[in-house]
Amino acid sequence: MRARETTATTFERKEGRVDLKPPLTQLDIPTTDGGFYDGFTRTVAVSGKIIIGALIFWAVAFPQNAGNLLNAINEAILATFNYWYVWTSAFFVVLCLLLALIPASRRMRLGEPEDRPEFTNFSWFSMMFGAGVGVGMLTYSTGEPISHFQTNPAVIQGLIAGSSAETVRPAYEWSFLHWGLTPWACYALTGLALAYFSYRRGLPLTIRSGLTSLFGSRLEGPLGHVVDIVAVVATVLGVSQTLGYGVEQFVAGVARVSGGAWLLNDDSTASAAAVITALVVIVGASTLSAMSGVGRGIKWLSNINTGLSIFVLLFFLIFGATLFSLQALFVGIWDYLTTLPWKLTTVWSADGTESGNELAAWQGSWTIFYWAWWIAFAPFVGLFLARISKGRTIREYILGAMIVPSAVCFTWFALVGGTAISLELTGQAQGAIVGTGLSDQLYATLAVMLPAGLATLMSAVVVVLLLTYLVTSVDSAVLIINTINAAGDEGPKARPHILFWGVALALVVGALLIVGGLSAIQTAMIVGALPFSFVMMLMGLSLVKAIIMDNLRKQADVPRTVGTIN
């Protein structure tokens, strides 16, 4: 019988006697029996809906008030918690690497000793990458290197001139920092904690389970409900940020392919009609995919977008600025690795000087924005990673979830962004790429490097690829939100709840895009990410404690996994 064991085993150690108990293997999270919320934790499900509904109403009914207050909170967070975001993100990277390398943890399996992975490596990488950063990568693989090519901390400090050959290396140092090990450490740590406690302890696959070695059965009540509610809100806002960028780029691509000027405003941003149309298409397809589950729709779409991604990369490798891009890739990786400790821990604060204020503003709008984005995305991607990673060892899981996706991001940024920088450096682009908006820069690069007909065709391929990434991200997010609301049970898939969260995501993005643009979504996301950053820190400490205690149990021959507890 699975239950809380109370019989202690005394383990003799040189430094004293330690009473060891088998780990907690049951977390009784209350769920509703029957009715509309059958199988769901009503407090979590209803509270999440109320908070997101209130945000939508506030943004639509009082746009100026919402914008002013969110901006004020955002400024306070960037001024007060800049050190927190930077140092906690560095901690996540270091902790993940240590867990993958230390013998005491790396050989542990996420499950019973006989468990093996459910998905092939290809499908595992495809689903992980598609849900993790696929949409943002398409937007930023051109836009970020181009932006850092124009200005970066070295330019702000007057060490080099912007938009020159000297800025190429710093451009990739910072691009790789933002899209390398750090985001995947955030995802990997969250997913590892959830998989460890779920598959080795038999606990529910929900966020609160990752804290059980610290708080135990107290997580069955209000404390656990608060943790899961924070995770749901962070997930909605993090996915909304990704969906917002995706919608803008989707509309820009359709406008390029179709010549539909009505899709864009005078400032080249997506019109309200275009945003609404795009959201209907994306969320409609995502909802249908979510209803089919992880093993069917999501897996199928992930394999498609991986294949299309490889095709686009090969196209840029053959027809882009190949030598320039490959040099940017290998030199960039070297620069990234050799400067990583410094870049992971450096914090610039406004000091009243022109240079100091600019550095603080630059870091707030880039590095800290990214760290908040990855943290807000972590409950969704982390739980999704845990869902698809049962049976893998900790070393296999961490290295697979950090090294491979980082390498793919580096390759994308080097081949796609490197081609754009080369076209600007050589004068072929004549400002056509740097002079357009973030969401249009990839299409502008294709338009400069290719004849009109081929550029339109490749832009259409990118639009299809973007759509598959968007659908994969949204349908995965809807399933994960429902899993959290259902106390970790994947069973309840009541269509009204899937439809609600699909529509809620569309309304959050649509409302914030129409009343405040991408900056409004970015601000709301940074605010929503802060509470979950504290949950993530506790999850890391909880995981470390659990691994240490399991190693002590192993030496004392005390049961460590649910399969050995009778």
pLDDT band at residue 10 under the 50/70/90 scheme: very low
Q: What is the mean pLDDT of residues 145-156?
A: 95
CB 497 within 8 A of CB 60: no
3-state secondary structure of 97: helix
Mean pLDDT is lowest, of 14-28, 149-163, 202-216, 269-283, for 14-28
| pLDDT in the model for residue 544 | 94
Which residues pair with residue 18 across a beta bridge? Answer: 11
Domains by residue range for the chain, with CATH: 85-113+122-203+237-538 (1.10.4160)
The pLDDT confidence band at residue 4, using thresholds 50, 70 and 90, is very low
pLDDT at 253 over 70: yes
pLDDT score at 2: 39
Burial of residue 12, with CB atoms counted within 10 A of its CB: 0-12 exposed, 13-18 middle, 19 or more buried: exposed
Q: What is the H or E stretch that residue 212 is in?
A: helix 212-215
Q: Is 53 exposed, middle or buried (0-12, 13-18, 19+ CB in 10 A)?
A: middle
Averaged pLDDT of the chain? 85
Please provide the size of the chain in residues. Answer: 566
Percent of the chain with pLDDT over 90: 42
Helix (H) or strand (E) run with residue 472 in it? helix 452-485
Q: Highest mean pLDDT: which of 74-78, 118-122, 264-268, 309-313?
A: 309-313
Q: How many whole angstroms from its chain centre is CA 298?
A: 17
Q: C-alpha distances in angstroms, 456 versus 243, 443, 451, 465?
A: 23, 9, 9, 14
Q: How far is CA 493 from CA 36, 319, 417, 489, in A?
A: 12, 46, 41, 9
**Structure confidence by residue, pLDDT tens digits, 492-529:** 556 788 888 888 888 888 777 776 666 777 777 778 88
Whether the per-residue pLDDT at 336 is higher than 60: the answer is yes
DSSP string, 235-252: HHHHHHHHHHHHHHHHHH
Average pLDDT for 532-558: 90
Burial class (CB in 10 A: 0-12, 13-18, 19+), 169: middle
Distance separating alpha carbons of residues 337 and 40, to the nearest angstrom: 45
**Predicted confidence band of residue 5 (pLDDT cuts 50, 70, 90):** very low
- Residue pair 348/188 in contact by the 8 Å Cβ criterion: no
Tell me which residue of 519, 532, 526, 547 sits closest to 59, measured CA to CA.
519
Name the pTM for this structure.
0.88
Task: Give the model's confidence band at 295: pLDDT under 50 very low, under 70 low, under 90 confident, else very high.
Answer: very low
| CA nearest neighbour of 96 among 543, 532, 465, 521 | 543
